[in-house]
Amino acid sequence: MITLLNPRTVVAADGKSCTVTLDIVDQPFNAMLVTRVSHHHTNPDNPAHPRRIQSSSEAVFLESPKFKGAIPNDTIAAIFAAIAPQSTFAPAVSQSKDGKITVASETPVTLQWQVTDEVKPHPQVSGGPRPEVVWTDIPGATSGALADDAIKPGQWKRLVAINASGRFESRPVQRPLPPITPVTPQ
């Protein structure tokens, strides 16, 4: 079955047209047994060539006497996200206990690591709000990983992920201070 994957969408500057390029992959589609809703479509210019269009929770399928194809729903959503970013979500960032970060986004995402020397979290000042922590971008730190030696021991780091729909800031993580070796008098 022909499956259309990996959409690359270019929207015209006026926002009134777009070009979508898809990878055409001949592969079995696992969702063939999913319950589907069928629609029969007949092209008015060629009524002798009927098509069946089916939609499921996984994809939209098109079947004609000589062709079977599928467009996964994720592909359709990614196309609409490129055309109308408000149809998608801000970057979703997950962070494991060991600090590994995974970013999910349907639209292009910009990554930026930031650093602060301030203690996190700030203690609340009696009678007032917590003071803001001042974060500074780390020059050139725009990938999904940051080497420990990019910041000083005791500093805090976080990853900021931004796409057309919003922004997400990872949980701050502190670079540990080196162990203290006690000096014993002789």
| Model pLDDT for residues 115-156, shown as the tens digit of each residue | 998 866 556 566 666 678 889 999 999 988 888 889 999 899
Q: Are residues 71 and 141 in the same domain?
A: no
Condensed to tens digits (0 to 9), the pLDDT of residues 68-80 reads 888 888 888 888 8
Q: Are residues 97 and 168 in the same domain?
A: yes
Q: What is the pLDDT of residue 40?
A: 67
As to burial, measured by CB atoms within 10 angstroms (0-12 exposed, 13-18 middle, 19+ buried), residue 22 is middle
Q: How many CB atoms lie within 10 A of CB 146?
A: 22
Compute the CA torsion angle 162, 102, 143, 24 (nearest 10 deg).
Answer: -90
In a domain? residue 7: yes
Please enumerate in sequence order all residues whose Cβ is within 8 A of that of 172, keeping only pairs 6 or more positions apart, or say none.
Answer: 116, 120, 156, 157, 158
Q: CA angle 59-64-68, nearest 5°?
A: 45
In a domain? residue 115: yes
Q: Are residues 98 and 128 in the same domain?
A: yes
In a domain? residue 181: no
Q: Are residues 66 and 79 in the same domain?
A: yes
Q: Give the domain-ending residue among 62, 83, 104.
A: 83
Q: Give the domain-ending residue among 15, 50, 83.
A: 83
Q: Are residues 47 and 93 in the same domain?
A: no
Q: Which domain holds residue 32?
A: 2-83
* 84 confidence band (pLDDT: 50, 70, 90): confident
Q: Are residues 19 and 79 in the same domain?
A: yes
Rounded to two decimals, the pTM is: 0.57
In a domain? residue 185: no
Cα(113)–Cα(162) distance, integer angstroms: 12
Please enumerate in sequence order all residues whose Cβ is within 8 A of that of 125, keeping only pairs 6 or more positions apart, or say none.
Answer: 131
Q: CA angle 163-71-77, nearest 5°?
A: 25
In a domain? residue 160: yes
Is there a contact between 111 and 142 (Cβ–Cβ < 8 Å)? Answer: yes
| Average pLDDT value for the chain | 81
Counted domains in the chain: 2
| DSSP letter, residue 22 | E
Q: Give the domain-ending residue among 61, 83, 105.
A: 83
